[in-house]
Amino acid sequence: MSDATVHILKEYWGYTSFREPQKAIIDAVLHKKDTIALLPTGGGKSICFQVPALLQDGVCIVISPLIALIQDQVENLQSKGIKAVAIPSGSKQDDLIRLFDNIRFGNYKFVYLSPERLQSRFIQEKIKQLHVSIIAIDEAHCISEWGHDFRPSYLRIQTVKEIHPNATTIALTASANTKVIRDITSHLGLETPSVFKKSFYRKNLVYQVLPTEDKLGRTCRILKKINGPSIVYVASRNKAKKISSYLNASGFQSSFYHGGLTRLEKEVAFANWMQEKTPIMVATNAFGMGIDKPNVRAVIHLNIPSSLENYVQEAGRGGRDGKKAFSLVLVTKADISYTRESLQHKYPSMAEIKTVYQKLHQYKQIALGEFTDTEYEFDFTEFCDTYQLPNAKTALAVQALNANEIIQITQNFNQKSTIQFTVGSQQILKNNILSNNLKNFVQILLRMYGGVFENAVKIDEFYIAKKNNSTSWKVISQLELLHEKGYITYAKSSKSNSLLFLHPREDARTINRISKNITRLFTLKKEKVLAVIRYLENASVCRNIQLLTYFEEKNSQKCGTCDVCLNELKATKHLNSAIIALFKVHKELSSQEICALIDEKENDILIHLRTLLAKETIGITNHNKYFLT
């Protein structure tokens, strides 16, 4: 079987050997052993179930919470000539029947779906008809209330195991502590699973936290010194574009990447970076999937990461070729103060979540005690504006309600329309055919949105209307008219954004049932951020030791290359030099006399004296006086 796994790896992926511990994981799965695989980003988790699935008869069911990741993996498999399909949300029953018939009789090897989709009785019945060899659960930490992204829908994944008890289960995650592993084992019904954990230690990756008040200037100096493919992570879409423009104006070649770009724009930016036409990528955390560029020399964070899990994943995209690479966090005192203070106000209280839940029903005119299975169109921005609710907190409240299965909402509920001007502004404004109202409307758009000539920019018709004492339908008609005349490209937001209520309206009673889950989730998210702050502020413990301790790895050692270790090395050299300099003035000195003459901690001086003695740089007399040898 060993030769067969390597043959499959080479045939489809072009590699001649596995990374540690991929081979051991694959062998465990092939021997029908339930398995938990903890591999850091770039560790090649997907290969651990894809290779054994290709060597066995039947289908591999893959459960993943990330729609974008599902699409990415399905397309990747299809590009290799491997039959894979995703079960989309919102499909009609007839379409699903045809899809599952194709899976059954078309020799498909991989079926991807979300844990929420798995709850459908109809889909469960269709899965029952398949010959399933492997059940792969990605992002398995979501099954645990101690995981950093707990999702109640994961608790019912065991349904597939009950349907196909002879299938082998493999649970995969980038990070999980002992509590999470215990929950994964219990909730998935795994019997004495094989657990594989790859160390987060990266010998070639240098972690450095750099305090600075000039982030852009420091970034330019770093990139000039590195002179190799790099990623610069920022907190917002606007920053990604602006910083990329700044770097380009400073003589660098960069692209930018964020979730608001069109599919084509993402592909172009990614291709230019991979081919090193623009070796620097400025991006939000949306730039994460499918990145396997081996020669990334630097990963720079200009904002505080949301968790150490995310930070290690993003930093881990550097140096995959085994050569030296840098992970650099540029931070100001204001960054840390702002982040700590914002935690107090970022997350909605239970009272605020109750209000959002109540307003959602009012928005769709559902009475107290009423239950409806109607699927409603949902405009998130309009909803917030209607009830004067803050967008950021309301988004978190809606996501919490969705995660706890009180409502079901499409993942892109705040998706927006886009516009891009195809001709210059002067050409439109000087056109005598257009009415003055339409010309005024064009000027309004240009004032409200920047970059509309270079890229497709997200807009909000309701917001435009509100700002200009108009109506959204009138704004839409004006945009459509400009589109018809060829002055702009207007892509109206999809009407597939939907809201479904899963319980009768009970207001406070409904929210009280899930309040413990939500409170725990928000508390955990806050603690994740505080852990990052502690890491950034701790300049006395090696960065490598801090990170490995966080991920429960024992026997970690000083890396010798992080900013903390380098500062210690400088201090050591300074103290050694100071001690040696004393003997150029004094022939012999006791330790007490040395401590009196050097303004450093007594314990540090004594340690250095012992080190210098061991190196025979200094000697000691019978009277316990030190001298230079």
Check whether 298 has a pLDDT greater than 80: yes
- 118 with 252, same domain: the answer is no
Query: What CATH code is carried by the domain that includes residue 314?
Result: 3.40.50.300
Residues 320 and 222 in one domain: yes
Both 93 and 179 in one domain: the answer is yes
Name the pLDDT band for 90 (thresholds 50, 70, 90): low
Q: Tell me, what amino acid is at 438?
A: L
Q: Would you say residue 506 lies in a domain? A: no
Asked if residue 147 and residue 10 are part of one domain, the reply reads: yes
Using an 8 Å Cβ cutoff, are 463 and 396 in contact? no
pLDDT of 290: 65
Residue 358 lies in a domain: no
The reply to whether 143 and 232 lie within a common domain is no
Model confidence over 190-247: pLDDT tens digits?
Answer: 989 999 988 888 899 999 999 999 999 999 999 999 999 999 999 998 999 999 999 9
Residue 557 resides in a domain = no
Which of 331, 361, 396 is where one domain is finished?
A: 331
Give the residue from 137, 169, 197 where a domain finishes. 197
pLDDT attached to residue 92: 76
Q: Is residue 574 part of a domain?
A: yes
Percent of the chain with pLDDT over 70: 96
Strand partners, 299: 231, 327
3-state secondary structure 207-238: EEEEECCCHHHHHHHHHHHHCCCEEEECCCHH
| pLDDT value of residue 414 | 54
- The burial of 475, by beta-carbon neighbours within 10 Å (0-12 exposed, 13-18 middle, 19 or more buried), is given as buried
pLDDT at site 242: 95
Statement to judge: residues 193 and 209 lie in one domain: no
Residues 6+ apart with CB under 8 A from 446: 425, 452
User: In the predicted model, what is the mean pLDDT of residues 353-357?
Assistant: 96
What is the tally of structural domains in the chain?
4
Q: Which of 465, 491, 517 is the last residue of a domain?
A: 491
483 and 580 in one domain? no
Task: Decide: residue 573, CB within 10 A, 0-12 exposed, 13-18 middle, 19+ buried.
Answer: exposed
The predicted structure's pLDDT at residue 22: 94
pLDDT tens per residue across span 35-66: 999 987 666 889 999 999 999 999 999 999 87
Tell me how far apart the alpha carbons of residues 324 and 561 are, in angstroms, rounded to a whole number: 11
* 226 lies in some domain: yes
Rg over CA atoms, the chain = 29
578-596 pLDDT, tens digit each: 888 888 888 899 988 888 8
Both 576 and 598 in a single domain? yes
pLDDT in tens, 321-346: 999 999 999 999 899 999 999 998 89
pTM, two decimals, is: 0.74
Same domain flag for 166 and 101 = yes
Task: Tell me how far apart the alpha carbons of residues 237 and 125 are, in angstroms, rounded to a whole number.
Answer: 42
Residue range 374-401, pLDDT digits in tens: 888 888 888 998 999 998 899 999 988 9
- DSSP per-residue codes, 235-302: SSHHHHHHHHHHHHHTT--EEEE-TTS-HHHHHHHHHHHHTTSS-EEEE-TTTTTT---TT--EEEES
Mean pLDDT of 394-418: 80
Q: Taking Cα atoms as reference points, which of 160, 45, 58, 71 lies closest to residue 109?
A: 58
Could you tell me the residue range of the domain that residue 28 belongs to? 2-197
- The reply to whether 22 and 150 lie within a common domain is yes
> Residue 494 — very low, low, confident or very high, per pLDDT cuts 50/70/90?
low
Nearest C-alpha neighbor of 194 from the set 345, 329, 27: 27
Domain membership flag for residue 365: no
The mean pLDDT of the chain is 88
Q: What CATH number does residue 607 fall under? A: 1.10.10.10
Any domain includes 44: yes
Can you tell me the distance from the alpha carbon of 295 to that of 189, in angstroms, rounded to the nearest whole number? 41
Q: Are residues 11 and 124 in the same domain?
A: yes
Is residue 46 domain-shared with residue 110, that is, in the same domain? Answer: yes
Mean pLDDT in residue range 142-171: 84
Q: Is residue 370 part of a domain?
A: no
